[in-house]
Structure 1
Amino acid sequence: MKGERHPKNDVTMNPSGNESIRDVIERTDLGRRHFMQTTISASVLAAIGGVNMKSIIGAVEAAPLPAGNGFAGIGFESVPPSLAPVADKVTVPAGYTVEVLASWGDPIMKRAPAWDEDASQDAAAQEKQFGMHNDGMHYFPISSHGIGHGRNPVRGLLCVNHEYTHEEILHGAEGLAGGAGVTIAKVRKSQAGHGISVVEVRKNRGKWQVIGTSPFGRRITGNTRMKISGPAAGHALMQSKKFDIQPTGSVEVGINDGYHCHGTLNNCANGYTPWGTYLTCEENWNGYFGWNSGESVDAADPNRAAILNDQARYGIVAGGFGYRWHEADPRFNAATNPLEPYLFGWVVEIDPFDPESKPVKRTAMGRFKHESAQVAVDGNSRVAFYMGDDERNEYIYKFVAAKRFNRHKRADNRNLLDKGTLYVARFTDMPGAGAETYRGEWIALEPDTTSVIPNGAGGYYKLRELPQFAGADDAEVQALILIKTRQAADAVGATMMDRPEWTALRTYYDPEFSFKGYSVYNDQRPLEIYCTLTNNNRRGGGGSTPATSSNKADGTTTAASARPPVDMANPRPDNDYGHIIRWREDGNVVTATGFEWDIFMLCGDSITAKTLGANYQSGNLVNGAAGTGPYYEGDIVDAPAGSADFGAPDGLWFDQFGRLWIQTDQAGDASGDWVNIGANIMACADPNTKEVRRFLTGPHKCEVTGVTSTPDGKTLFVGVQHPGEDSPASNPTQYSNWPQSQFTVNSAGQPLPNTPGLSRPRSSVLVITKDDGGIIGS
């Protein structure tokens, strides 16, 4: 995910006006399209060359996309792109209504104050209000006969992540550096703006509203007390300094026991469990740590050298992302409290129906920059979670729980995430059984797994034999593998990916093919996972020279610094527009150690004239001649051609009717490489034919992120994050004043405060319904 205090998306794009023969055939009829997808290889198409399709395709009429193979069809036409100057509003298709449900600062629990437009409220107020910059979310229905296990479409709990804060907007006129500069009061408010909101929502007389006095209403922040469980719990590296966290400061009071910690940060995408709990994923947590000039990592710590290496591999640097928390809160000083970073980078499990429960960091699922955790349950009641590590050149993971899921007794699943096997993916160029598919393998990150590091005796070291994982016994070795997940993945030769973000499990709409709400998978309807690969401007070299490099197997590569060559799974140099990859598990079971993969979609701009920079290696494994537009064109299937172009795919979600929803994360101002694509969007795709329709466009300089629906599919919740990003404290509405620029009231009919000079843009959750009361997308 993107933001001014986060690593910038690597963007720069361009697709040409010449369309390939693939585009010609894919946009004619379904029979020929199927022929293309199953018989003609990329190399053949590249040899054929491109033809100009605009005159041929321009007159094609958009029509509903038909149902097929568990896909319920798409019944709307694409909305136009929001080009410069980007309108400060959300647009949806005709026949739909969009409203604001919840915005930053809205009260969500008892005794919470209303939001003040001048942002003068303190941390205590923010701890009871909807947090800032919402991201991933999930709807948990409240059953009339037992919470959390029904299909109630009009009352539920909405769990919403809050990824980061825009300090200049959060702190009112002072901003981060204004007035008294960095103070503990500002740090505490910023920490309170992070985390998760648990919000009760109800539909009453046709209007959705937040229940601001709900007993379920809850904020989980950067300072909330939490448990640590699983194989890494209690390890010496998890025993950082312990602090008494007070509004006026953090007072050192000893050492953590490694089983407890404070806070969750940079909560980006999410997941959920079939037993009714919420999973929030800690992504760019490294940016909150820093140290002051002249400080060095605490020399008293016996693991000092290893800590320095770990910090580099996870991207911890002196200045962080500019939050400067370490200047006022010693807990975030990575020099004097060097073990604290080990307490972040985990998947956190939350029971939304028990406001008194402590969130739990599940260490068995690994430590990295988690983007999402997509659950899959196979026909053997085995459970897996698929996860991306959101940074250039990082990896895709799978965690398989050791115990089976108990569909009948929720309590038996309480600690299901504490034991299991964490795998990392290797994508190969070995042909698969299907046309244009390839083989892949899951590599277990366990002590006896063989690395790719030669041992000097004709063999290779096992992970347990490498110094960074050496321990007194198997339990300690496994703990270190999980604490240093990136280094373990480096050591086993996992495939470096172009920023793996959200994962999504394909659904099939047909009650006959489900068992008590869970899909039955087979060769016709496979267990299929999708993952967005947002972009990578280091793929194929780049920089001052075209030289390429890979993450070092010894785990010493600084985060995001490698410049890998193209490969079959990441086939474009300077991959500015990104792509979506998918794979099918062998035998349609989550315990498979092999899979078959293909590229679902190469994203791009159909009319750009951008060419590959001379400082990139010109090798190309997709259609098009080296150094020409096809590097950036993509192969999005739409009609008319170019009508649904998009880039930087990020959010990804299948609804219960088999539709794939895609959200994007780029600059959002329709400038530069995005001049033809416009602002960020949400699109809908057919997983059978790959056809795409643009469903929603966002306001100026925002990201569209987070999506979930009610069980009946008639209400869609969608997130809009950081509208007006980069606005200064002196002029908070310089780039946007959304949602006030579009709406005067929220979905419950309550006024949205909008006083000139005081108002400021607010990240919000939208509620979208169809005017005829039907299912979204139908």
Structure 2
Amino acid sequence: MPESAPRRRLLPLIGGVGGGRSAKTCLYRCGNACFHPAPNKSDNPYFGDIFQGVLSRRTALKGALVGTGAGSLGLAALSPAAADRGPNRPHPSPRPTFKNVLPNNRDEITVPEGYDHHVIVRWGDPVLPGAPEFDFENQTGEAQAQQFGYNCDYVGFFTLDGDHGLLWVNHEYTNEEIMFAGYTDGETADPEWIKVAMAAHGGSVVELERVDGTGQWKLITEGERPFNRRITNETPFRVTGPAAGHELLRTDADPEGVNVLGMLNNCAGGMTPWGTVLSGEENFNQYFVGAPDTESYARYGFPTDYSGRRWDRVDERFDLAKHPNEAHRFGYIVEIDPHDPDSTPVKRTMLGRFKHEGANVNITEDGRVAAYMGDDERFDYLYKFVSDKKYVEGSHKHNMTLLDSGTLYVARLEGNSPAEEIDGTGTLPSDGEFDGTGEWIALCTDAESHVDGFSVAEVLVHTRLAADAVGATKMDRPEDVEPSPVTGKVYCALTNNDAREPGQADEPNPRGPNKFGHVLEIIEDGADSAATTFGWIVPLVCGEPEDDSTYYAGFDKSKVMAISAPDNLAFDKQGNLWISTDGQPGTLQTNDALHVMPVEGRFRGELRTFATVPVEAEACGPLISEDQKTVFLAPQHPGENGTVEEPTSVWPDGGFPRPSVVCAWHKGGRDVGN
């Protein structure tokens, strides 16, 4: 390990609580999804099951690759990274050179020597002008709806001018046990507590100002703050796209099926070239009770009983026995314009309904928009949407229609190694890479379904079932999916999958069980986001470097840091990949962290640790500012395993934990990371 990092006991590759998460995170984040059988019951084959068929197609695939300049050279020709690995090749851009933050269990933010950090905004801070000051012991739903919400996940930042900007933050979920003294369960909870928790979901827009020309930003607390906004579960949303108005979305309160109140469990997201936020509704199933016992509800994990948060006690629409279609109105990518506080947020049905981690866009060679998405569930899928219309710079009205018509795809991946070489241990095959080819399978356009037995609207509402039907590849919890702004390659964080058995391992998911997770790199044909075929490589197989099952793109593992449970991804302007984690305390026995790794050139795979977060917190965000002077990081659920009476974290202010957004910068004014 570099810089005298302490050695840690290697953990066996066996199942654990939520793949490394704490028990309370599993309960409140996703309703204990990992304690239930994976909802994907499809018989989609694993790669090992179809290997003989792949062999028969191998020659045809290689012949097809000749047309793309690959031919018998395989992925090396498709991937500049593969070609650049020789020891004498120059690296294309500055590699991170900061001194590693060492693994720790401190109840604080730790950043490298020469850096500083600042807490920008905390749970309960006033957002709307006139909002009351936070009162931990006497919080009300009305007050919370005007204050910064609870757990802060995705962070987006939009510059207004050189010294002012808008910060968007998702509020993913709440942990009532560390919010309210005496909380035990939703059945007995004070109804006002439930109202506070409901209002603490959603998102916030707050205006920031730069401090003295540095990389530090602070919350503007005085004046009108016209952009500041809270999105809650009571905010009106408009539904667009082919499923809007379909009978599956109609309710007694909304007989037209085009108006929804609120968004739920918003996890990651992305910023569009036209200045909006795309935010993903993830574990939305856990907020409901009384679901019908049918395949379509079971595939999304809706509970049939009456337990959990019990939001139905204060809002009847969350009881699916009474309002079964309310479930179909959540699970979408939502689009929000932070520059217009009076705008109505939109749920884009054309991008499908599943447990969206987020969505990130790229412009295709011919000027259209591609959005990449992951469905964060064990054995679920990777998706892509490509618009029909082209992006028009400066035409906001036109660009706000781009995500309503186009084609929705799901990924099928195949490896290129003999099945017996992929045995679930993480041992590299004889060609030295986990790699292969793939295709984007069309599920539907806005006008035509490509799935037998499904209408267009049914594909978009029951997207998981449609993807099951076309044989998509079962992945290890695909979370954030990010295209590189430098190379156009696409990276997916596959957090973990304790349920994958050794015999279910395949080349794109090479370990079973997969306790530590991995990262996938996709190289689309012609480097065009509109392509329907691609090559792929697994550049990072996470865990302790000393573990033989780990892989750091071929880099010397004595010179890298440990990483587990990759979750959110970001890029700096040099194209280095930043990776935040969600599960290191349970797998590496150290606090979660923000890491950075070059993915091109001589130092591809040299993973370093930039920051660690407080006790039991998850390292969310992250975002590297466009000028690369600031790292935004959003530690959520600090002290997750504690209670109000017995807290396990008191970050950031003492007394009790408060999820917050922080910024970090180099005190000498250098670009962060370099």
Same fold by TM (over 0.5)? Answer: yes
Specify the alignment match of 1:651 in structure 2. 568
- The 1:236/1:738 distance shift into structure 2, 3 A limit, reads same
Specify the alignment match of 1:695 in structure 2. 610
Alignment of 1:518-557 (within 5 A): 525=487, 527-540=488-501
Instruction: Note if 1:719 corresponds to 2:615.
Output: no
Specify the alignment match of 1:481 in structure 2. 459
Q: What secondary structure, in the 3-state scheme, does the structure 2 residue paired with 1:421 have? A: strand
Question: 1:350-380 deviations in whole A, cap 9, x for unaligned?
Answer: 0101111110000000000000111111332
Specify the alignment match of 2:220 in structure 1. 211
Q: What secondary structure, in the 3-state scheme, does the structure 1 residue paired with 2:192 have? A: helix
Specify the alignment match of 1:284 in structure 2. 283
Instruction: Note if 1:341 corresponds to 2:324.
Output: no
Per-residue deviation, 1:321: 7.5
The whole-number CA distance in structure 2 between the counterparts of 1:329 and 1:448 is: 33
Specify the alignment match of 2:175 in structure 1. 166
- The 1:3/1:125 distance shift into structure 2, 3 A limit, reads farther
Matched-pair contact (CA < 8 Å) for 1:184–1:329: no
Alignment of 1:676-755 (within 5 A): 678-688=590-600, 689-731=604-646, 733=647, 735-740=648-653, 754=654
Instruction: Note if 1:4 corresponds to 2:23.
Output: no
Count of residue pairs brought into register by the alignment: 583
Per-residue deviation, 1:337: 1.1
The whole-number CA distance in structure 2 between the counterparts of 1:80 and 1:259 is: 50
Unaligned runs of 5+ in 1: 12-34, 40-64, 144-151, 243-254, 298-304, 451-461, 470-476, 509-524, 542-547, 549-564, 608-628, 741-753
Alignment of 1:501-516 (within 5 A): 501-508=479-486
Instruction: Note if 1:775 corresponds to 2:668.
Output: no
Q: What secondary structure, in the 3-state scheme, does the structure 2 residue paired with 1:141 have? A: strand
Q: What secondary structure, in the 3-state scheme, does the structure 1 residue paired with 2:350 have? A: helix
The whole-number CA distance in structure 2 between the counterparts of 1:719 and 1:89 is: 13
Q: What secondary structure, in the 3-state scheme, does the structure 2 residue paired with 1:281 have? A: strand
Specify the alignment match of 1:500 in structure 2. 478
The whole-number CA distance in structure 1 between the counterparts of 2:155 and 2:447 is: 35
Alignment of 1:314-353 (within 5 A): 314-319=300-305, 322-353=308-339
- The 1:155/1:723 distance shift into structure 2, 3 A limit, reads same
The whole-number CA distance in structure 2 between the counterparts of 1:72 and 1:238 is: 50
Alignment of 1:389-428 (within 5 A): 389-428=375-414
Specify the alignment match of 2:241 in structure 1. 230
- The 1:738/1:638 distance shift into structure 2, 3 A limit, reads farther
- The 1:637/1:730 distance shift into structure 2, 3 A limit, reads farther
Specify the alignment match of 2:143 in structure 1. 125
The whole-number CA distance in structure 2 between the counterparts of 1:319 and 1:67 is: 60
Matched-pair contact (CA < 8 Å) for 2:570–2:624: no
Q: Which amino acid aligns with 1:233?
A: A
- The 1:404/1:192 distance shift into structure 2, 3 A limit, reads same
Match of 1:190 among 197, 210, 213: 197
Specify the alignment match of 1:551 in structure 2. none
The whole-number CA distance in structure 2 between the counterparts of 1:653 and 1:285 is: 24
- The 1:324/1:227 distance shift into structure 2, 3 A limit, reads same
- The 1:588/1:321 distance shift into structure 2, 3 A limit, reads farther
The whole-number CA distance in structure 2 between the counterparts of 1:271 and 1:719 is: 15
- The 1:66/1:706 distance shift into structure 2, 3 A limit, reads farther
Specify the alignment match of 2:38 in structure 1. none
Instruction: Note if 1:674 corresponds to 2:588.
Output: yes
Q: Which amino acid aligns with 1:691?
A: E
Question: 1:75-106 deviations in whole A, cap 9, x for unaligned?
Answer: 21211111xxx211111110000111111011
- The 1:572/1:706 distance shift into structure 2, 3 A limit, reads same
Question: 1:522-569 deviations in whole A, cap 9, x for unaligned?
Answer: xxx4x210000000011126xxxxxx7xxxxxxxxxxxxxxxx11111
Instruction: Note if 1:200 corresponds to 2:207.
Output: yes
Matched-pair contact (CA < 8 Å) for 1:447–1:464: no
Matched-pair contact (CA < 8 Å) for 2:207–2:220: yes
Per-residue deviation, 1:182: 3.0
- The 1:654/1:321 distance shift into structure 2, 3 A limit, reads farther
Matched-pair contact (CA < 8 Å) for 1:161–1:267: yes
Matched-pair contact (CA < 8 Å) for 1:9–1:535: no
Unaligned runs of 5+ in 2: 1-20, 36-72, 78-87, 418-430
Per-residue deviation, 1:237: 0.4
Per-residue deviation, 1:658: 1.1
Specify the alignment match of 1:266 in structure 2. 265
Matched-pair contact (CA < 8 Å) for 1:683–1:694: yes
Q: What secondary structure, in the 3-state scheme, does the structure 2 residue paired with 1:411 have? A: helix
Matched-pair contact (CA < 8 Å) for 1:290–1:324: yes
- The 1:647/1:636 distance shift into structure 2, 3 A limit, reads farther
Q: What secondary structure, in the 3-state scheme, does the structure 2 residue paired with 1:6 have? A: helix
The whole-number CA distance in structure 2 between the counterparts of 1:104 and 1:66 is: 48
Specify the alignment match of 1:313 in structure 2. 299
The whole-number CA distance in structure 2 between the counterparts of 1:100 and 1:325 is: 31
Specify the alignment match of 1:72 in structure 2. 94
Per-residue deviation, 1:436: 5.7
Q: Considering only CA atoms, is the larger Rg found in Structure 1 or Structure 2? A: 1
Matched-pair contact (CA < 8 Å) for 1:289–1:326: yes
The whole-number CA distance in structure 1 between the counterparts of 2:251 and 2:307 is: 22
The whole-number CA distance in structure 1 between the counterparts of 2:376 and 2:650 is: 29
Per-residue deviation, 1:630: 3.2
- The 1:634/1:10 distance shift into structure 2, 3 A limit, reads farther
- The 1:465/1:777 distance shift into structure 2, 3 A limit, reads closer
The whole-number CA distance in structure 1 between the counterparts of 2:146 and 2:516 is: 39
Matched-pair contact (CA < 8 Å) for 1:383–1:404: yes
Matched-pair contact (CA < 8 Å) for 2:571–2:624: no
The whole-number CA distance in structure 2 between the counterparts of 1:737 and 1:136 is: 22
Matched-pair contact (CA < 8 Å) for 1:182–1:328: no
Q: Which amino acid aligns with 2:219?
A: V
The whole-number CA distance in structure 1 between the counterparts of 2:445 and 2:241 is: 16
Range with bigger deviation, 422-431 or 580-589: 422-431
- The 1:639/1:93 distance shift into structure 2, 3 A limit, reads farther
Instruction: Note if 1:765 corresponds to 2:661.
Output: yes
Q: What secondary structure, in the 3-state scheme, does the structure 1 residue paired with 2:397 have? A: helix
Specify the alignment match of 1:585 in structure 2. 524
Specify the alignment match of 2:4 in structure 1. none
- The 1:344/1:3 distance shift into structure 2, 3 A limit, reads same
Q: What secondary structure, in the 3-state scheme, does the structure 1 residue paired with 2:362 have? A: strand
Q: What secondary structure, in the 3-state scheme, does the structure 1 residue paired with 2:444 have? A: coil
Q: What secondary structure, in the 3-state scheme, does the structure 1 residue paired with 2:181 have? A: helix
Matched-pair contact (CA < 8 Å) for 1:222–1:265: yes
Q: Which amino acid aligns with 1:282?
A: E
Match of 1:221 among 224, 227, 232: 232
Matched-pair contact (CA < 8 Å) for 2:116–2:665: yes
Instruction: Note if 1:175 corresponds to 2:183.
Output: yes
Match of 2:513 among 574, 584, 590: 574
Per-residue deviation, 1:409: 2.1
Question: 1:483-541 deviations in whole A, cap 9, x for unaligned?
Answer: 11000100000000000000111132xxxxxxxxxxxxxxxx4x210000000011126
Per-residue deviation, 1:465: 3.8
Q: Please provide the CA RMSD for this pair.
A: 2.8
Specify the alignment match of 2:548 in structure 1. 630
Identity across matched positions, percent: 40
Matched-pair contact (CA < 8 Å) for 2:365–2:529: no
The whole-number CA distance in structure 1 between the counterparts of 2:274 and 2:239 is: 20
Please, what TM-score do these two structures have when normalized by structure 1? 0.71
The whole-number CA distance in structure 1 between the counterparts of 2:232 and 2:620 is: 20
Per-residue deviation, 1:67: 7.5
Matched-pair contact (CA < 8 Å) for 1:288–1:320: no
Match of 2:533 among 580, 594, 612: 594
Matched-pair contact (CA < 8 Å) for 1:278–1:351: yes
Specify the alignment match of 1:87 in structure 2. 106
Matched-pair contact (CA < 8 Å) for 1:636–1:692: no
- The 1:234/1:167 distance shift into structure 2, 3 A limit, reads same
Matched-pair contact (CA < 8 Å) for 2:350–2:446: no
